[in-house]
Amino acid sequence: MKIEKSKKMAMFPKAIFGDLKAAANAKAAEGVKLIDLSLGSPDLPPDEKVRKVLSEQSALASSYGYTLGGTKRFYEAVARYYKRRSNVDLDPNTEIIQTMGSQEGLVHLPMAFCNEGDYVLTTNPAYVAFDAGIHLAGAVPYYMPLLEENNFLPDFDAIPADVAKKAKLMILNLPGNPVPAMPNDAFFAKAIEFAHLNNVIILHDAAYSEFYFEGDRPSSFLATPGAKEVGMEINSLSKSFSLAGARIAYIAGNAEMISIIQELKSNLDYGTFGPIQEAGIVALDNAEEITDRLRATFSKRHHILMNGLTKIGWKVTPSKGGMFVWAKYTNQKMNDIDFVYHVIKETGVVMVPGSIFGEAGAGYIRVALVQKEELLVEAVERLATLCVVHA
């Protein structure tokens, strides 16, 4: 029997993370303690209140039926969260749709709005799921480079007029993955103006919205006047509430757009496990307490890596939030992919090459804030030794 991949599979390149893991395992087999700063998977456990509800609800015999989407209770909790945290009013009946993690929502959403050949405006570098969704829809990505001279924010004025006319969707992610650039009200206002002018839907990926280290509230696209007229925001409980494995997220915003996504979702799945939704409700209703602790921890880690890498000569991108540090390493004679494997071999520190997120990421490294402070200090010390020897 001859088994062949579909032509569409060529659009989905093999992820590098498996190969990084294999290289790391080979180093660990030598007896070296690894310091893994690659995956953006939270190392902090969910809050005890959240775990308790999930455990109690999972023990109920009545919890195992289809939920057929988000429950009314969950949608009301999302609406309360947005009102408290960002002063955004959401109708829980029409302006919120649940997804099984933000990855699922991001990959499927372009199919709801894009026809084959339509343009989708996305950033370079960007989270890899954005491209996957665009290709799955048969749409064409147009990459907005994130450049140092623009504070790593996309420049809407640089988008050609003919591209803007063909565009159906724009995907933004601030603070982002891999680049932790922070938006401001003026930036979001300009994005909305562009969307109105060109009839483009905006999707803002707010997965890291609670990872801010200055100010008093998360930055929500939906808090900008006119945002709900042109777009939506997708947010996940994975990062902010350490529920990555639970796979629960939501999209909020324009009611007509949400209705179209609901139509698509009704053909894809039967909803998230009910006890996970109940745990999500507790997380959202206790967001202030939970995320205050999160920020205290990650702010310290952010400070250690930013200062430490700068001291050893790396050019660290200034940031005031996010779950990652984005930096140029000292040995630029070596490309970023080779450099990452070299670092694993020499030091046992595991990081991600920037070029896997787009060609504009070449020469950069993404470092995740997912280890305790003492391990981050040790990671910098190991990298310092590497830089002295190989720079």
Q: Are 365 and 329 in contact (CB under 8 A)?
A: yes
pTM: 0.95
Q: Strand 231-236 to strand 201-205: parallel, antiparallel, or no bridges (unpaired)? A: parallel
Between CA 218 and CA 310 the distance in angstroms is 27
The more confident residue out of 330 and 60 is: 60
Give the integer Cα–Cα distance in Å for 110 and 112.
5
Q: What is the mean pLDDT of residues 203-217?
A: 92
pLDDT surpasses 90 at 311:
yes
pLDDT at 387 > cutoff 70: no
Give mean pLDDT, residues 1-23: 87
* pLDDT band at residue 391 using 50, 70 and 90 as cut-offs: very low
pLDDT on residue 345: 96
Which residue reads 């707010």 in tokens?
Answer: 206
**What six digits make up the tokens of 148?**
């140092």
Give me the mean pLDDT over the 156-179 stretch: 96
- What pLDDT score was predicted for residue 268? 95
Q: What pLDDT, on the 0 to 100 scale, is given for residue 37? A: 97
Q: What pLDDT score does 389 carry?
A: 45
User: Which pLDDT does position 390 carry in this prediction?
Assistant: 44
Q: How far apart are CA 290 and CA 81, in angstroms?
A: 13
- 279-299 residue pLDDT tens: 999 999 999 999 999 999 999
Tokens linked to 183: 């938006």
- Please check the confidence at residue 255 and state whether its pLDDT lies above 60: yes
| Amino acid letter, 110 | P
Whether 112 and 265 have beta carbons less than 8 Å apart is answered as no
Q: Is the pLDDT of residue 215 over 90?
A: no
Q: Which residue has the tokens 């000292």?
A: 330
Give the C-alpha separation, 340 to 345, whole Å.
Answer: 9
The confidence score (pLDDT) of residue 102 equals 96
Q: For residues 251 and 106, give the distance between their C-alpha atoms in angstroms, rounded to a whole number.
A: 10
**170-175 mean pLDDT:** 96
Q: Where are the alpha helices (DSSP H) in 199-286?
A: 227-230, 255-265, 274-285
Whole-number pLDDT of residue 204: 98
Give tens-digit pLDDT for 90-109: 999 999 999 999 999 999 99
Of 44-53, 72-81, 188-197, 325-334, the one with minimum mean pLDDT is 325-334
DSSP β-bridge partners for residue 173: 205
Report pLDDT for 217.
80
User: Across all residues in the chain, what is the average pLDDT?
Assistant: 95
Q: Are 279 and 286 in contact (CB under 8 A)?
A: no
pLDDT of residue 15: 80
Q: Which residues pair with 127 in a beta bridge?
A: none
Which stretches does DSSP call E strand in the chain?
35-36, 96-99, 119-124, 140-145, 167-173, 201-205, 231-236, 249-253, 315-316, 324-328, 349-350, 352-353, 364-368
Average pLDDT over residues 65-74: 96
pLDDT at 58: 98
